[in-house]
Amino acid sequence: MKIGIIGSGNMGRSLGLLWAEQGHEVFFGARTAEKGQSVAAFAKRGTQGGTNDDAATFGDVLLYTIRGINPAEVLTAVEILSGKILIDCNNSEIPDGFAYAPIEQSLAEKLASEVPKARVVKAFNTMAQEVFELAPSPLKHHKVSVFVCSDDAEARRAVMQLAEEIGFDAVDCGELRHARLVESLGDFIRFMIIGQLKNPYATISVNVLPAATDQRLGGRQS
């Protein structure tokens, strides 16, 4: 796959490098071509670097790491995003005391409203950069969920595949409006990581347990 990274900071560099390790063609974009090129020089593995415009042109799949900023402010022409899978990994800023306001519109839905012709997928917002350092192994032994939402089922499956390739357990979360729930999970895990446990390796995953063999507690009443 040809993958363009729009904003090559912690998340862009980490995910781009992991996908390059899996054999994907990766282009790191940044506000200046020099920054994009320097990330590619660090990542090696045949990656390229340049501007965000260059990355958006290059990729069939794009990772958008620029929190809450309309692509129209980042790219010369947003039409380049039409028909492309646009992964939104963003979380909102952490408010004082972790006093989050209820999410009425997720960052992913906002992004989709700004670029309605892009195939926006929410993913990769519920674990810290440090967790990506463990990918794909030993991460894959720990069944760490990546929650994936999109109104485009094919795009959702493609991103789930990209998550699985780097050792995550992709969880289909259905439509993009469920990104409100997934972004709340992102807020919760940062509360844990930063506010409570003070450990960036804390993660949040769905676990499906084996069914009980008997119902000695009486089972669930209707």
Ligand X SMILES: NC(=O)c1ccc[n+]([C@@H]2O[C@H](COP(=O)([O-])OP(=O)(O)OC[C@H]3O[C@@H](n4cnc5c(N)ncnc54)[C@H](OP(=O)(O)O)[C@@H]3O)[C@@H](O)[C@H]2O)c1
Please identify the residue of the shown chain whose CB is closest to the bound ligand X: 9
**Which residues face 129 on adjacent strands?**
none
91 CB contacts (<8 Å, ≥6 apart)? 67, 107, 125, 183, 186, 187, 190
Pick the binder of ligand X from 2, 31, 44, 117 (CB under 6 A). 31
- Considering the rule CB under 6 A, would residue 90 count as an interface residue with ligand X? yes
- Considering the rule CB under 6 A, would residue 65 count as an interface residue with ligand X? yes
Rounded-to-integer distance, Cα 139 and Cα 48, Å: 26
Interface with ligand X by CB under 6 A: which range of 55-63, 124-132, 146-154, 209-217?
124-132
Size of the site for ligand X (CB under 6 A): 20
- Considering the rule CB under 6 A, would residue 74 count as an interface residue with ligand X? yes
- Considering the rule CB under 6 A, would residue 69 count as an interface residue with ligand X? yes
- Taking the alpha carbons at both ends of the chain, their separation in whole angstroms is 49
User: Residue 16: what residue type?
Assistant: G
- Considering the rule CB under 6 A, would residue 35 count as an interface residue with ligand X? yes
Pick the binder of ligand X from 43, 66, 115, 139 (CB under 6 A). 66
- Considering the rule CB under 6 A, would residue 193 count as an interface residue with ligand X? no
What is the nearest approach in angstroms of ligand X to the Cβ of residue 12? 6
Alpha helices in 92-206 (DSSP H): 107-114, 129-132, 153-165, 179-190
HEC string of 111-144 equals HHHHCCCCEEEECCCCCCHHHHCCCCCCHHHHCC
Instruction: Decide whether 93 or 104 has the Cβ nearer to ligand X.
Output: 93
Pick the binder of ligand X from 47, 57, 106, 125 (CB under 6 A). 125
What is the nearest approach in angstroms of ligand X to the Cβ of residue 111? 11
CA 49 to chain centre: 20
Binding interface with ligand X (CB under 6 A): 7-12, 30-31, 35, 65-67, 69, 74, 89-91, 125, 128-129
